[in-house]
Amino acid sequence: METERVFENCVKCSEPKSDGPDCLNCGVIYAKAEAKHREDLGKIRIAREELFSEPHCENPVRQYTSSARINKQLAALGEFSIFFTKKEIKYLPNVLREDENVKALSSGLVDGNTWLIVVSDQRLLFLDKGMLYGLKQMEMNYEKVSAVSHSMGLLLASLIVSTSGGIKKIDSIPKNDAPKISNLISDLIRNTHKKDLPTTQNNNMDITSQLERLASLLERGLLTEEEFKTQKEKLLK
């Protein structure tokens, strides 16, 4: 049995706890916030156990790139990689292309399953190793992603990825990872959209919807004011 952890600081705002039942700084009721916090810790532990469990893949999978190349990239990631075991990492060469580079790793829940989240320089990848099947894979190319945002919970965070096909919400992401991977994905999609702005494609879109799209990109921080102005002028020419 694990001993129940005693919290000396508010689990929400991290300020030292006051004598009363609620936080004078952020207003949470300590007992309630701590119960939720413990529950989240339990979820993370279960999620990790699932991730680290032995893969049940009978058929040898084709390897696209060398383990050594991937291991070198993972070592360079530093703090992201601490969540993953060698067993997990061994899957990546089977999935990543030989010219693909890992920028960040994390884990999260999508539709009730725990996925390994891989942010590469080419795409956003989700890998799920179920107990009854082999490796499940989901990917989003940055060209298809219009925006990414995150929201913070007490311990876990959510990532919201908007694509042309709809919105995907990834829950239970370790809190420290969420802003980092969210910003990283923003940069990556921004670089992709820079090469691929509305004026060069979407001929079937009228100027109004193209302007709306530009405004939305600006609003989401995917375009700078200057880029927005340039593109807007091009559109209105």
Please report, as residue ranges, which positions from 13 to 52 form the binding site for Zn ion (by CB under 5 A). Answer: 13, 23, 25-26
Residues linked to residue 4 through DSSP beta bridges, in sequence order: none
Q: How far is the CB of 10 from Zn ion (least distance, A)?
A: 3
Between 18 and 191, name the residue whose CB sits nearer to Zn ion.
18
Minimum distance between the CB of residue 32 and Zn ion, rounded to whole angstroms? 12
Is the separation of the CB atoms in 172 and 108 below 8 Å?
A: yes
DSSP secondary structure code for residue 72 in this structure: H
Least distance (Å) between residue 24 CB and Zn ion: 8
Cα separation, 199 vs 207, whole angstroms = 9
Contact 140, 152 (CB under 8 A): no
Stretch that binds Zn ion, among 11-19, 81-89, 186-194, 228-236 (CB under 5 A): 11-19
| Closest distance of CB 129 from Zn ion, Å | 37
10 lies in the site for Zn ion, by CB under 5 A? yes
Question: 12, 37, 150, 168: which one contacts Zn ion (CB under 5 A)?
Answer: 12
Integer Cα distance of 233 and 109 in angstroms: 42
| Residue 155 interacts with Zn ion (CB under 5 A): yes or no | no
| Residue entry with tokens 């075991």 | 85
CB-nearer residue toward Zn ion: 6 or 236: 6
Cβ proximity to Zn ion, 15 vs 49, nearer residue: 15
Q: How far apart are CA 229 and CA 132, in angstroms?
A: 52
Buried b / exposed e along 99-115 (16+ C-beta atoms within 10 A): ebebbbbbbbbbeeebb
Which parts of this chain interact with Zn ion (CB under 5 A)?
A: 10, 12-13, 23, 25-26
